[in-house]
Amino acid sequence: MQELATPIIEELRAASSWLLEAGSAPRASARSAQSGGSGWGQLLRRIGRFGSLMPRLLEELALAGRPGRDTLVEVRTPRRAMPSRRPTDFVHLGSTRTHLEPARWLGREPEPELDPAALDWLAWLLQTLQEELHASEHRIGRHLSDLLIHTPGEGLSVYAMEQRQSLLLLERQMVEAAASLQRSRDALGRASWSTPRPQRRKPFPFPQGIAWSELSRLAREILDPMQSLTGILQQVLQDPPATADLPFLYQRWCGLRLVQVLEQLGWSARRDPIPPLFLGGRVDFAQSASQLTLWVEPRIPASDRPEAPHASGLSAHRQREASPDYVLVRDSRTGPRAWILDPSFSLGDAQARDKGRYRALLAFHDPRLVAGVPSRLPPERAWAAQPLPRTTCILHDPEGRSGTVPMLPGAHSDDALIAWLQDLASVDGGPHSSRDRATFRLA
């Protein structure tokens, strides 16, 4: 599978040329290769920097804080202090050893009140890193699942075993990053008189100090992924790539081919697709009066969550979120219709068939009438993409609800992907009638 890396990187690098300076992409160090360059290494680096800054940030806030409530601290002299209340802090005096005197004293010292706005902003940065880590952990889990789903007797190839070991190492590093975030959360809780409430607005006036100056630069990377996109691309678009990056790169290459073939079919992207292809998000397309939206790694919430539905109109069943790689949504006269393409950097039939699960996991949140009965309609198609050496699609059922689109890097034919997308292009586009949508929610 390593031989597929070169055409993948060449096409991604060509499409991302405006973000890359010629010859500026450095070779990854051994450590960055282990961490994974696909944004994961950058994320782990940001979490590590944030965790190392946290004690200094709180210390600088304390130095600048105003005196607050008094706390009892241990002192050595009884001056302006009271005896300790612990029995072990008393000693026997006198020959009879019946007289007790305090050996430790408690004095009152003012505890500085740290700026609540600064603590709330730290909580926001912490929450943002936590959400990004959660998404990355989910992605790694999916890669591992793809490797571990195999039919009896097939086992794993040498490449798959190497990839699995790389992903397991990365998974352990994610666990360490989660522990670092928890330590930062605990320190933040101890420093605050009340539970910090995450607030995106920066504190004003902004705290002074070296650590806070460093955090200001780091925060730009945390809150604006575009700040670190160039660094991510320079790290991952190298040849040969780290083993753990190949599934990520194949996914992004499949997304790039989706965009390019849609443009061949007459759909025009309204924005540059490269940032959302690497960072997640949406790419809107237009063709005459028709609209089409490509969602990249959307985090689709469960239907019972307050944030449901996702902006695509979908929500998940079973009280858990879902995140397919690519979701295409096109409006029609009977309501929006969704197609899912979830690449798998493997050749196994079991992995490809597993992608059909999204039809059972997802549905449009607002019910529509089917024969007069309200129903939450699932995506019409949930297909896999695999690097297979063929030019025709594979149907997993006669109606094509699930199947596989062969997408082989370096191949000179997009016939299979064109055929798959032409079916979507033939959908009767146009505004749907309100009569076709139920105006109430299912119980």
**SS3 annotation, 255-313:** HHHHHHHHHHCCCEECCCCHHHHHHCEEEEEEECCEEEEEEECCCECECCCCCCCCCCC
The reply to whether 3 falls in a domain is: no
Q: What is the pLDDT of residue 153?
A: 47
Same domain (yes/no): 401, 265: yes
- Nearest Cα neighbor of 190 from 82, 81, 55 is 55
Q: What is the pLDDT of residue 100?
A: 74
SS3 134: helix
Handedness of CA 125, 129, 135, 138 (dihedral sign): negative
> 113, 141, 173 — which closes off a domain?
113
Q: What is the pLDDT of residue 22?
A: 36
Same domain (yes/no): 135, 164: yes
Q: What is the pLDDT of residue 193?
A: 78
Same domain (yes/no): 337, 420: yes
Which residues, in sequence order, are bridge partners of residue 173?
none
- Please calculate the CA angle 398-430-313 and round it to the nearest 5 degrees: 70
Same domain (yes/no): 354, 388: yes
Task: Say how far apart CA 418 and CA 264 lie, in whole Å.
Answer: 9
Asked if 246 contacts 252 with a C-beta cutoff of 8 angstroms, the reply is: no
Alpha carbons within 13 angstroms on the beta-carbon side of residue 190 total 10
**Under 8 Å CB-to-CB from 121, ≥6 apart: which residues?**
199, 200, 201, 202, 203
The reply to whether 20 falls in a domain is: no
Same domain (yes/no): 173, 224: yes
Same domain (yes/no): 228, 317: no
Same domain (yes/no): 291, 193: no
The reply to whether 420 falls in a domain is: yes
Q: What is the pLDDT of residue 433?
A: 43
The reply to whether 134 falls in a domain is: yes
The reply to whether 24 falls in a domain is: no
Strands 403-406 and 381-386: parallel
pLDDT in tens, the chain (443 residues): 677 888 999 999 888 887 765 334 444 333 333 344 456 778 898 999 999 999 999 999 988 866 555 566 677 677 767 777 677 777 767 666 666 777 777 876 666 778 999 999 999 999 999 988 887 787 777 776 766 665 444 556 666 677 677 778 888 888 999 999 999 999 999 888 788 999 999 999 999 999 999 999 999 988 887 777 877 787 778 766 766 678 888 999 999 999 999 999 999 999 889 899 988 899 999 998 889 999 999 999 999 999 999 999 999 987 788 999 999 999 888 889 999 999 998 888 988 999 999 999 999 999 999 999 999 999 999 999 999 999 999 999 999 999 999 999 998 889 999 999 999 888 765 554 444 444 444 44
The reply to whether 217 falls in a domain is: yes
The reply to whether 427 falls in a domain is: yes
* Structural domain span for residue 381: 245-436
The reply to whether 22 falls in a domain is: no
Same domain (yes/no): 129, 180: yes
Same domain (yes/no): 107, 121: no
Q: What are the b/e assignments for 107-125, b being 16+ CB within 10 Å?
A: beeeeeebbebbbbbbbbb
Same domain (yes/no): 128, 205: yes
Same domain (yes/no): 108, 120: no
Number of domain units in the chain: 3
Helix axes 226-236, 40-64, angle to 10 degrees: 140
Same domain (yes/no): 197, 272: no
> 236, 262, 293 — which closes off a domain?
236
